[in-house]
């Protein structure tokens, strides 16, 4: 099963992708997590990506596409995956479709987690992220068992650099300009599914499960 998560920054793509990955035993592939891991480890890719991410801009397609295609070519992705944060532009979607077509494969579902902009800024300030394993928490809506510590791996949780209010606003603008057109792109292919992302995260997950079966 190959699933794409669509939705604004902070809509809950990562939260839901992790739950889907666990239930359906497929890897959770997040380009944002891959970039953050590279930044943390001080790689050349991380240095390049950081320039864009800290400003709330998209990392150029040339850098992003190769990383994603390499990742999904790995053995653990053989039976499918859930993509979180990719594609984010029409050209990225086209590259993915072309690569899959060459393998005789296709994306099964594009799930749009719908949350209005007003709700987003609120959520971001309370988010805490684990840069080691990619787990995401919220100080109110999804608190870790021990404050400031990742439940999964014990790493110290951080507020992401790009979660400052000004940067969140920029990311929302970029989302509407460059990523939202993907909703129509996948709708035309007949694989778009919309879920209300404003309800409790377990209810969002239940809606997704009823789509995936
Ligand atoms: P990325 O890491 O993908 O960030 P994003 O799309 O901005 O999305 P977020 O991770 O901020 O939000 P999310 O939807 O995953 O929400 P979450 O589950 O955490 O990308 C970061 C940057 O990397 C980009 O800006 C870009 O520069 C670059 N990049 C990445 N991929 C790229 C690509 N393909 N091309 C180019 N550049 C790329 O939830 C948010 C918060 O809300 C959490 O605290 C959570 O606990 C809480 N929450 C979740 N669900 C609910 C709910 N139902 N109710 C209440 N709270 C909830
Ligand atoms: Mg995320
Ligand atoms: Zn962790």
pLDDT band for position 171 (cuts 50, 70, 90): very high
pLDDT band for position 59 (cuts 50, 70, 90): very high
Q: Residue 23: which residues within 8 A CB-CB, separation 6 or more? A: 209
> What pLDDT was estimated at residue 13?
97
Cβ count within 10 A of residue 72: 22
With contact defined as beta carbons under 8 Å apart, do 82 and 55 qualify? no
Q: Atom 20 in ligand 1: which residue has the minimum CA distance? A: 32
Ligand 1 contacts CB of residue 71 (under 6 A): no
User: Does residue 121 register a pLDDT over 90?
Assistant: no
Measure 69 CA to ligand 2 centroid, in angstroms. 19
| Paired sense of beta strands 28-30 and 81-84, if any | parallel
Measure 157 CA to ligand 3 centroid, in angstroms. 8
CA distance 156 to 130: 7
**Rounded mean pLDDT, 178-197:** 98
Q: Atom 23 in ligand 1: which residue has the minimum CA distance? A: 32
pLDDT band for position 141 (cuts 50, 70, 90): very high
User: Does residue 18 register a pLDDT over 90?
Assistant: yes
pLDDT mean across residues, the chain: 96
Which tens digits make up the pLDDT trace of 33-45? 999 999 999 999 9
pLDDT band for position 72 (cuts 50, 70, 90): very high
208: phi then psi, degrees, rounded to nearest 5: -65, -45
Q: Atom 42 in ligand 1: which residue has the minimum CA distance? A: 123
Q: Residue 40: which residues within 8 A CB-CB, separation 6 or more? A: 46, 131, 132
Ligand 1 contacts CB of residue 138 (under 6 A): yes
Ligand 1 contacts CB of residue 58 (under 6 A): yes
Cβ count within 10 A of residue 27: 18
> What pLDDT was estimated at residue 164?
87
With contact defined as beta carbons under 8 Å apart, do 28 and 77 qualify? no
Nearest atom in ligand 1 to 197's CA? 53
CA distance 136 to 159: 10
Q: Sketch out the chain's domains with CATH numbers.
A: 2-115+178-212 (3.40.50.300)
Ligand 1 contacts CB of residue 201 (under 6 A): yes
User: Does residue 103 register a pLDDT over 90?
Assistant: yes
Shortest CA distance to 35 belongs to which of 25, 22, 44?
A: 44
Which residues are near ligand 3, the ion (C-beta closer than 5 Å)? 130, 132-133, 135, 150, 152-153, 155
User: Does residue 130 register a pLDDT over 90?
Assistant: yes
Ligand 1 contacts CB of residue 15 (under 6 A): yes
User: Does residue 122 register a pLDDT over 90?
Assistant: no
User: Does residue 150 register a pLDDT over 90?
Assistant: yes
Provide the strand spans (E) within the chain.
2-6, 28-30, 81-84, 109-114, 127-129, 136-138, 192-196
């Amino acid at each position: 099963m190959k699933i794409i998560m669509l939705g604004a920054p902070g809509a809950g793509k990562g939260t839901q992708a992790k739950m889907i990955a666990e239930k359906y035993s497929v890897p959770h592939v997040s380009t944002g997590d891959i970039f953050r891991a590279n930044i943390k480890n001080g790689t050349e890719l991380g240095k390049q990506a950081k320039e864009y991410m800290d400003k709330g801009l998209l990392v150029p397609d040339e850098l992003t596409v190769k990383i994603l295609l390499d990742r999904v070519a790995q053995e653990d992705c053989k039976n499918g995956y859930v993509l979180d944060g990719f594609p984010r532009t029409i050209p990225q979607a086209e590259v993915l479709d072309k690569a899959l077509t060459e393998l005789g494969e296709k994306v099964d579902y594009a799930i749009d987690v719908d949350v209005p902009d007003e709700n987003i800024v609120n959520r971001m300030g309370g988010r805490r992220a684990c840069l080691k394993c990619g787990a995401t928490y919220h100080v109110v809506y999804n608190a870790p068992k021990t404050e400031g510590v990742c439940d999964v791996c014990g790493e110290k949780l951080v507020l992401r650099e790009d979660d400052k209010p000004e940067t969140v606003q920029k990311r929302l603008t970029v989302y509407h300009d460059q990523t939202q057109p993907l909703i129509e792109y996948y709708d035309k292919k007949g694989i778009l599914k919309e879920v209300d992302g404003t309800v409790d995260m377990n209810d969002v997950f239940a809606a997704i499960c009823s789509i995936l079966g």
